[in-house]
């Protein structure tokens, strides 16, 4: 408990320090940019900057409170803001259409949150407006262009869509330039064609810098972007290939868990791509001893020759080894956390009760048969825990009992048990979302175990050949 409180106090101090630093950096930069302006102008600009940050803090507190829990994201946000703010201030003497304000909003939209990206874009637009002395055209152009950029950039989840995003933003900027010129001049008589070139250059340059710099931000701040997660889901990834070759049962189990988790995450509004990716890698720790896990066994169970405590240790250690592999292979922190949390601190019941049966009356320490935790901290990790248990249990059912009615009962029982055990206490799942997750799992199993048409024996599997031309 004290560790958690100390962690929170450290994060609070970090937030306070970074907020003060960001405010001071903005104020100093704007004052320098204003040059020989009147003292009261500088004072008013400084007050506006403080008010803008108060507004931003209030917005984050009400709509992005989770940001305060992630130290690396706070650092990421502050760095992006300060760097782009310095760029905006230092370029204030150039034609306003060349200032790459949308970059900050797009980076934050991809790596943290869409709405926060839009708010940051508006804040930087106002700072740029205060410093440059431009009119309403500056505010209109960057508010609209930046907002649309934040919304559209998240669609660039594949590299081949970057061209589409750039083209779309070029069209938006061209329209905005035309409208701004009409607003200023009232006609096309004084239309400046150079402005069109600047607007197109701004959109292309902003998208290229945003997408091109993502690997740097991912590495420096250990964040997972949609592009990074999509790359990790490719079947040619090293760890996925190893699972397929060395632990094929675990590979197929993970694929099924991935389908279940992605469907459930979509239905409750969680991060479906993170759930899908985390599920694919959640059991990579089984690569150490694949034959000690049921799904990889072929009639021979090496646990039959082991003491229950030794067996439990092998099973439990797959989580720690999975985290070790994830670190060695540079998987994002969000995926590593899922690997660490997907078993929570559950009890390996089979070997625990087996040890009790063999104990001859001696006490068996339950803690020796528990995963080390922590319990799932995010909705995605919790969904993967439920999907993992569901898939493993249903796979173990005899073939004649794998019908939709039994599967539905199993899913309900597993979710209720995990809830009763307190494994879902530390994530943000709501009680009303648990039935939705159950229904999501059923959607997947409905596709697998739906009733099929029964063909007559003399047509399929008999001696006669089906004539497809009849």
pLDDT of residue 181: 85
The model's pTM is 0.83
For range 363-379, the mean pLDDT: 92
Q: Identify the pLDDT of residue 6.
A: 55
Mean pLDDT lowest among 160-164, 241-245, 266-270: 160-164
Residue range 32-51: average pLDDT?
Answer: 71
Closest alpha carbon to 150 in 110, 205, 90: 110
Q: What is the mean pLDDT of residues 287-307?
A: 92
- Strand ranges, E, within 305-460: none
Please give the average per-residue pLDDT across 137-153, as a whole number: 91
| CA distance to 96, 285, 287, per residue, from 291 (Å) | 64, 12, 9
- Among 90-94, 276-280, 460-464, name the one with the lowest average pLDDT: 460-464
Beta bridge mates, 97: none
Rounded mean pLDDT of 426-430? 93
Q: Which of 186-195, 366-375, 395-404 has the highest mean pLDDT?
A: 366-375
Per-residue confidence (pLDDT) for residue 41, from 0 to 100: 73
Summarised one tens digit per residue, pLDDT across range 214-241 is 888 988 888 888 888 988 999 899 999 9
**% of the chain with per-residue pLDDT over 90:** 50
Give the number of other Cβ atoms within 10 Å of residue 239's Cβ. Answer: 18
Task: Give the residue with greater pLDDT, 335 vs 30.
Answer: 335
First and final C-alpha spacing in the chain: 74
Residue 166 pLDDT: 83
Residue 350 has pLDDT above 60, yes or no: yes
Report whether CATH 1.10.700 matches the domain 226-449.
no
Task: State pLDDT tens for residues 306-317.
Answer: 999 999 999 999
Listed range (189-203, 368-382, 419-433) with the worst mean pLDDT:
189-203
Short-list 403, 413, 415, 401, CA closest to 446: 403
- Structure confidence at residue 346 (pLDDT): 95
d(CA 423, CA 434): 13
In the prediction, which pLDDT does 457 show? 56
**CB contact set of 99 (below 8 Å; sequence gap of 6+):** 87, 88, 91, 92, 128, 142, 202
Q: What confidence score (pLDDT) does residue 359 get? A: 74
pLDDT of residue 7: 54
Q: What is the CA radius of gyration of the chain?
A: 28
Report domain extents, the chain. 2-221, 226-449
| Paired strand residues for 370 | 347
For the four alpha carbons of 157, 427, 16 and 119, in that order, the dihedral sign comes to positive
pLDDT score at 1: 43
Q: Which helix (H) or strand (E) holds 405?
A: helix 404-420
DSSP label at residue 286: G
Q: Any alpha helices (H) in 35-135, and if so which ranges?
A: 39-63, 71-90, 102-111, 114-132
Query: CB under 8 Å to 428, separation ≥6 — which residues?
Result: 378, 379
Query: What is the Cα–Cα distance from 303 to 301, expressed in whole angstroms?
Result: 5
Output the pLDDT for position 465. 40
Q: 76-115, pLDDT tens digit by residue?
A: 888 898 888 888 878 877 888 889 999 999 999 988 888 9
142-146, 209-213, 417-421, 466-470: least confidently modelled range: 466-470
- Partners of residue 347 on adjacent β-strands: 370
The three-state secondary structure class of 58 is helix
């Amino acid at each position: 408990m004290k560790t958690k409180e100390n962690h929170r106090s450290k994060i609070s101090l970090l937030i306070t320090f970074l907020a003060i630093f960001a405010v001071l950096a903005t104020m100093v930069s704007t004052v320098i940019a204003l040059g020989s302006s009147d003292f009261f102008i500088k004072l008013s600009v400084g007050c506006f900057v403080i008010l803008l940050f108060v507004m931003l803090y209030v917005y984050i507190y009400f709509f992005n409170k989770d940001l305060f829990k992630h130290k690396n994201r706070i650092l990421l946000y502050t760095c992006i803001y300060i760097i782009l703010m310095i760029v905006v201030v230092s370029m204030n003497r150039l034609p306003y259409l060349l200032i790459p304000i949308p970059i900050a909003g797009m980076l934050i939209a991809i790596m943290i949150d869409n709405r926060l990206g839009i708010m940051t874009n508006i804040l930087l637009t106002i700072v740029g407006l205060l410093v440059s002395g431009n009119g309403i055209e500056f505010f209109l152009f960057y508010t609209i262009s930046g907002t649309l950029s934040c919304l559209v950039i998240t669609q660039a989840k594949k590299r081949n869509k970057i061209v589409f995003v750039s083209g779309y933003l070029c069209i938006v900027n061209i329209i905005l330039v035309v409208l701004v010129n009409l607003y200023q001049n009232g006609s096309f008589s004084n239309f400046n064609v150079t402005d069109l070139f600047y607007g197109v250059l701004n959109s292309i340059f902003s998208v290229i810098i945003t997408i091109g710099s993502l690997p740097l931000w991912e590495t420096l701040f250990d964040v997972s972007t949609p592009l990074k997660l999509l790359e990790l889901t490719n079947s040619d990834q090293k760890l996925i290939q190893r699972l397929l070759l060395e632990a094929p049962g675990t590979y197929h189990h993970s694929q099924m868990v991935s389908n279940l988790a992605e469907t459930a995450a979509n239905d409750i509004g969680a991060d479906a791509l993170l759930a899908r990716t985390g599920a694919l890698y959640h059991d990579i720790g089984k690569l150490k001893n694949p034959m000690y896990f049921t799904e990889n066994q072929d009639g021979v169970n090496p646990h039959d020759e082991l003491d229950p405590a030794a067996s439990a240790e092998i099973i439990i250690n797959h989580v720690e080894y999975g985290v070790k592999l994830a670190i060695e292979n540079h998987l994002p922190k969000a995926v590593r956390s899922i690997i660490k949390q997907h078993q929570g601190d559950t009890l390996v019941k089979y070997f625990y009760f087996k040890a009790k049966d063999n104990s001859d009356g001696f006490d068996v320490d339950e803690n020796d048969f528990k995963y080390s935790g922590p319990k799932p901290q995010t909705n995605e990790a919790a969904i993967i825990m439920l999907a993992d248990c569901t898939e493993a249990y249903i796979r173990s059912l005899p073939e004649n009992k794998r019908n939709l009615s039994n599967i539905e009962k199993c899913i309900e029982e597993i979710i209720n048990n995990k809830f009763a055990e307190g494994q879902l206490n530390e994530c943000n799942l709501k009680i009303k979302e648990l039935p939705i997750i159950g229904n999501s799992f059923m959607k997947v199993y409905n596709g697998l175990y739906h009733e099929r048409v029964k063909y007559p024996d003399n047509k399929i599997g008999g001696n006669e050949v089906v004539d497809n031309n009849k």
